[in-house]
Structure 1
């Protein structure tokens, strides 16, 4: 039986010590009250529900303070089973592909063709989602009424994630919600840019990877959140934390987006160094600033190409 706990008010400027530490980097403008609702679609035990409530509450000031961007007024968290996640992921992919196609100047026939192709690809993608679900620690899944933060107790059992680890993971995911609050088009930017680059016949090195920006920014926040909480900037387990299962470790090593996360984090770190939060915000808002695959490998090329945006040019 699915239960829905009552809506909860979380003050992002309060809570325990970790949040107090985070509040030192939290501008007054972001010390607001955020509503979040937890839906227990997986019929998780009460202890899991309480833990997720506590960790989401702890992650809110980290995401807001480190991104320097306003949080949404309301966040929906869904505790899901792996099967639910796989189903929702497929629906998410179809929904966002449709938004991407609708955002382009395509004829009716071509739009229908692309949407049919996206639906078929989403069906095939279910196998990939099912395979990697045990390593997914959190995900933003678009539903018809907007994006939800989805968490899976079964996957957290695989990671054996501590409170520190999962708080930083949730800060990563909440950062995605912050990005979407700033620029809703980021949700379907990967599909939109892929279609545009395909139509323009761009070479692989010249194609854009919006996911590297969104995931890189969220990964950058996640690493810095860990640094605030324990002094170590990392997205991984610490040596003194419980080791994850062999399945989690194997899937993590095989995850096809791992390099995108790493390179994206490096690009965002470079953007922050040369332009601060203002340049990161522009990067998230302006499609023209999206890096190419070549620029992801060498952020200096991107910085020099956009020196007007950063205000600083690197010497080649």
Structure 2
């Protein structure tokens, strides 16, 4: 499965050029490796130090996900295969990628706000402008890199953190039975209702951790 995941990642990086800013590649020994594409930054993105820091934070979030639960590396392919084989309707297909990419974007915004007071993705007014090709692709709603499930996944992560703190987010990332379906990513209250016990358990753990740190 690792070999398939590596091939899939390489294919997506090529397909998403030049809007793919970085990727987690998998070596033959199964170790995760953070890979940046210098040409994207030199010829298209023209990032400031703040942008580079937020992008790095986004990718570190992905590395931390895999360190926490390495099976996330191939969860999307596995869930897609199993859910399709089971004959589930599309809205019931699990979408762990929305969770992982949403978490990465969530972290990127947190770091941006800490650095400049604004939770933005990309350039601020006055920053160097990206290339015309990069800008056009980022604005195209049909471009592969602009999947609505990234933003929806970020909103889903916010709902989880609000409901049960980081213990709930950790549970959602590490327990396959908690992976959200497409319908739940679009409407997080469905997930909160279906996994009420997990929400209550995580909320209690979060309160306990807060009390200990107070």
User: Do both share a fold (TM > 0.5)?
Assistant: yes
User: Which has more strand, going by share of residues?
Assistant: 1
Partner in structure 1 of residue 206 of structure 2: none
CA distance in 2, matches of 1:205, 1:235: 28
Write the distance in 1 (CA, Å) between the matches of 2:4 and 2:57. Answer: 23
Distance 1:94 1:277, change over 3 A: closer
Q: Please name the residue that 1:240 is paired with.
A: 126
TM-score (norm 1): 0.58
Structure 1: tracts of 5 or more residues without a match: 1-92, 99-118
Which structure 2 residues correspond to residues 126-275 of structure 1 after superposition, within 5 A? 126=11, 129-145=13-29, 146-157=31-42, 158-254=44-140, 255-258=143-146, 259-275=148-164
RMSD value, Cα: 2.1
Q: Distance in 2 between matches of 1:135 and 1:223?
A: 18
What's the CA shift string for 1:265-300, capped at 9, x where partnerless? 000000000100100000111111111111111111
How many angstroms does 1:94 deviate by?
6.8
Structure with a larger share of its residues in helix: 2
SS state at 1:135 partner: coil
4+ runs of 1 displaced by more than 6 Å? none
- TM-superposed CA distance for 1:138, in Å, is 1.2
Whole-Å separation in 2 of the counterparts to 1:171 and 1:299: 25
CA contact under 8 A between 2:13 and 2:23: conserved in structure 1?
Answer: no
Counterpart of 2:191 in structure 1 is: 302
Correspondences of 1:29-48 after superposition (within 5 Å): none
Is there any run of 5+ residues in structure 2 with no aligned partner, and where?
A: 202-214
Q: SS state of the match for residue 139, structure 1?
A: strand
- Greater Cα radius of gyration, structure 1 or 2: 1
Shift of 1:303: 1.2
Report how many aligned residue pairs link the two structures.
196
